[in-house]
Amino acid sequence: MRLSGKRIVAFVDEEFEDLELWYPVHRVREEGAEVHLVGLERGKTYIGKYGVPATSDYAYADIDTSQYDGVLVPGGWAPDKIRRYADALRIVKEMNADGKPVGQICHAGWVLISAKILNGRTVTSTPGIRDDMENAGAKWLDEEVVVDGNLVSARRPPDLPAYGKAFCDKLAEV
């Protein structure tokens, strides 16, 4: 249980990619971390692209990042909504500034773009937002998982095993 005592924020909103939320959440929980689902509203049930529900424990505005060790941003269509919320962007910016692990997969890169933390960083994402990532100043690689300092990124669901391991490894260092 190498992640015992670690606390993670996992973002959620409508049409999150079900596997890209739940696989990393379960992976860090299996290693002992506590995970809080966080959305625009506390206690709201959000529905994933394939119908799997997720109920938020807290709202973005409730989160004091000094009480957490990392953040996971799922893919799907949720990132296009999440990137519009100032408190979600605040969480990502603060976690990044503190060197805490920031995990993103697939379209989650949109949230990091809007948080303006990608300039000069090396990442991956779904190839569909490669241009967006590069226009934000990132170097984009077509690899299953890319770790650049505290940023851990992956492309799509088949990359989840490598992504989950890399995020847990990074979290164990904090």
Catalytic: which of 6, 83, 107, 155?
107
Dist. CA 87–CA 151, nearest whole Å: 19
Active site residue 107: yes
Please report, for residues 71, 137, 162, 173, the alpha-carbon distance to residue 132 in angstroms, rounded to integers and kept in the order given.
21, 9, 23, 30
Q: Are the CB atoms for 22 and 52 separated by under 8 Å?
A: yes
Return the closest-CA partner of residue 76 out of 134, 27, 140, 125: 125
Dist. CA 89–CA 113, nearest whole Å: 10
- Catalytic (active-site) positions: 107
